[in-house]
Chains A and B, each alone.
Chain A
Amino acid sequence: MQPQYSLNLNDSISQNIARQRRLGLRRTGNVLRQSVFAALLGLACTAPAFSAQASFPPLVAPASQEHHVGKIIFVELLTPDLAAAKQFYGSLFGWTFNDMHVGPMEYTEASLNGQVVAGLIHKSVASNEHKQPAWLSFIAVRDVDAAKKAAVEHGAKVLLEPHNVPDRGREAVFADPQGAVFAVLASSSGDPADVLAAPGEWIWSSLITLDPDTDAAFYQTLFDYEVFELPAGPNSQHLMLASDNYARASANSLPADKAITPPHWLNYVRVDDTAKMAAKVVALGGKVLVEPRIDRHGGKVAVVADTSGAPFGLIEWPETESKEVSK
């Protein structure tokens, strides 16, 4: 009995050791599988962030050495319906589009007669979010970090920290002290030349704000603007912001009876016939926000919105001076 017992005991110990080994191997396998899964999950999560560093097209090609601090050198639209935006702006202005994937983003570069006029980015908006697409103005600087320092010291909020965009340059996005959102860009390919915009290109920008006087001081600190005041109606201001001896933008009071509209930048496209183009906007599914009207320079101005609601201006700039100048 004793040997038999001993044999059984030895068998039992051997089986137990084998079972422990199998269990150990299985556990090790599980841990290894978990590690691999964790690594893959981590890589999947980090991939969009790293791939988003893919480059945008340079602003100026071939690169130039021109720099025009204070000039609005680029505009970008974020839209929930990129196809509709392309259809709208393509039909309205004859823009053509070059689609590209920049990291996880659907991005399209709009051009007119070979000149880059804008960037359009797709981003979905949730049905429960009451957000409005808008054109973002990029103002030229030489040093984005110095601009950030000055902006923050004078009451701006940093909405997007300075960062490098390969082939584009360095940029940051701020809200000025009154809340108008704008971007600064130090273009690595230089700034676009100071030339008269062709019809279908951006020609002008306005800062429409609660207090143009103090906002002009803020932007003067950042871009060293010369500031001129033009005659305006009662309780309103019309300031002209200039650099390099060119007018770059106006700063206007928000209409008093619509003070709930937040301060914002508005960009204008040059057109040959504002009324005709405003009608075309409506035919394409957009809206007219401000009916065509004669402005100071003698041409008509209108404010419209695209199919997703992003507002922009239309402005005539006749080759010859008009007699129909509003005083």
Chain B
Amino acid sequence: MNIFLLRRLAIVTTIGLLAMPLTACVTDVGGGYGYGGNVAVGVDYYEPVGGVYGAWGPGYQVGPYRGGGHPWGGGGGRAHSYRPAAAGRSMPSIPSHSRGSR
């Protein structure tokens, strides 16, 4: 075989094989999130939040509603970006039955 042809074949093979992982891996698309060069499945780090976390005032509540069954009054007549649950719907809570009781 012509040695120049072999050399070209070697170059093409090298470029082709080196390009394969680049197409197989997902790259960072902004927001400080994405995969590193050698990880194709997984998650990455957030930007730091720990240093400024907190400042939840006395009225700041995050937990689920407890008790259920209380009728929901609707969206209060205010305009919302979301579609409020229908008036009269019971306020839901989290599941109350344990794994063994199903």
**Residue positions of A touching B, CB distance < 8 A:** 24, 27-28, 31-32, 34-35, 38-39, 41-43, 45-46, 48-50, 52-53, 56, 76, 78, 102-105, 115, 121, 123, 125, 129-134, 136, 157-161, 163, 165, 173, 175, 179, 181, 183, 193-198, 203-204, 206, 208, 213-214, 216-217, 220, 226-230, 232-234, 236, 238-240, 242, 245-247, 250, 252, 255, 257-258, 260-262, 264, 266, 287, 289-290, 293, 295-299, 301, 303, 305, 309, 311, 313, 315, 317, 321, 325-326
Bound complex: CA A158 to CA B65 (Å): 32
Given contacts A216-B81, A252-B60, A289-B50, contact A240 B65 (CB under 8 A): yes
> 5 nearest interchain CB pairs?
A42-B17, A233-B59, A131-B45, A49-B24, A38-B14
Q: Mark B1-45, 1 if CB is under 8 A from A, else 0.
A: 101001101110110111011001110011111111011111111
Tell me whether B46 and A181 are in contact (CB under 8 A).
yes
Flag if A232 contacts B97 (CB, 8 Å): no
CB-defined interface of B80-102 with A at 8 Å, one 1/0 digit per residue?
11111100010111111111001
- For B1, the chain A residues whose CB sits under 8 A away are 28
B20 to chain A, nearest CB (A): 5
Evaluate contact between B40 and A290: CB separation under 8 angstroms.
no
Residues of B contacting A123 in the complex (Cβ-Cβ under 8 angstroms): 36, 39, 42, 44-45
23 A-B pairs within 8 Å (CB atoms) are namely A28-B1, A38-B17, A39-B17, A42-B18, A48-B40, A78-B43, A78-B45, A132-B47, A132-B50, A160-B26, A196-B98, A213-B81, A232-B60, A234-B59, A242-B85, A252-B62, A261-B49, A293-B56, A296-B63, A297-B64, A315-B63, A325-B66, A326-B61
Known: A103-B41, A195-B102. 9 other contacts (CB 8 A): A41-B18, A175-B33, A238-B62, A240-B65, A246-B92, A247-B94, A290-B53, A290-B54, A325-B66
**B56: nearest chain-A partner, CB-CB:** A290
Q: Which residues of B contact A228 (CB under 8 A)?
A: 65, 72, 84-85, 89, 91-92
* Chain A residues within an 8 Å CB radius of B18: 41-42, 45
Distance (Å) between the CB of A51 and the closest chain B CB? 9
Q: B82 touching A321 by the CB < 8 A rule? A: no
Interchain CA distance A161-B35 in the complex, whole Å: 11
With A103-B40, A104-B39, A236-B59 as known contacts, state yes or no: A242 contacts B92, CB within 8 Å: yes
Q: Is the CB of B57 within 8 A of A229?
A: no
CB distance from A243 to the nearest CB of B (A): 9
Instruction: Tell me the minimal C-beta distance from B12 to chain A in angstroms.
Output: 9
Complex Cα gap A48–B48 (Å):
29
Give chain B's interface residues, CB within 8 Å of chain A: 1, 3, 6-7, 9-11, 13-14, 16-18, 20-21, 24-26, 29-36, 38-50, 52-67, 72, 75-76, 80-85, 89, 91-99, 102
- Report the bound CA distance from A158 to B48 in whole Å: 20
**Is B61 within 8 A of A247, CB to CB?**
no
| Contact status B52-A261, CB under 8 Å | yes
* Given A45-B21, A102-B41, also A195-B97 (CB < 8 A): yes
Q: Give the Cβ gap from A89 to chain B, nearest Cβ, in Å.
A: 17
| Nearest B-chain residue to A227, judged by Cβ | B82
B31, B50, B62, most chain A CB atoms within 10 A: B62
Q: Provide the bound-state CA to CA distance between A321 and B69, in Å.
A: 14
Selected contact of B10 from candidates A35, A159, A220, A287, CB within 8 Å: A35
Q: For B17, B18, B91, which residue has the most chain A Cβ atoms within 10 angstroms?
A: B17
**Of A31, A198, A214, A298, the contact of B66 (CB 8 Å cutoff):** A298
B91 to chain A, nearest CB (A): 6
Contact, CB under 8 Å: B63 / A204: yes
Question: In the bound complex, what is the Cα–Cα distance between A299 and B64 (angstroms)?
Answer: 10
The answer to whether residues A255 and B55 also contact, given A213-B82, A226-B92 and a CB cut-off of 8 A, is yes
What is the CA–CA distance of A103 and B35 in the complex, to the nearest angstrom?
Answer: 14
A50 to B24, Cβ gap below 8 A? yes
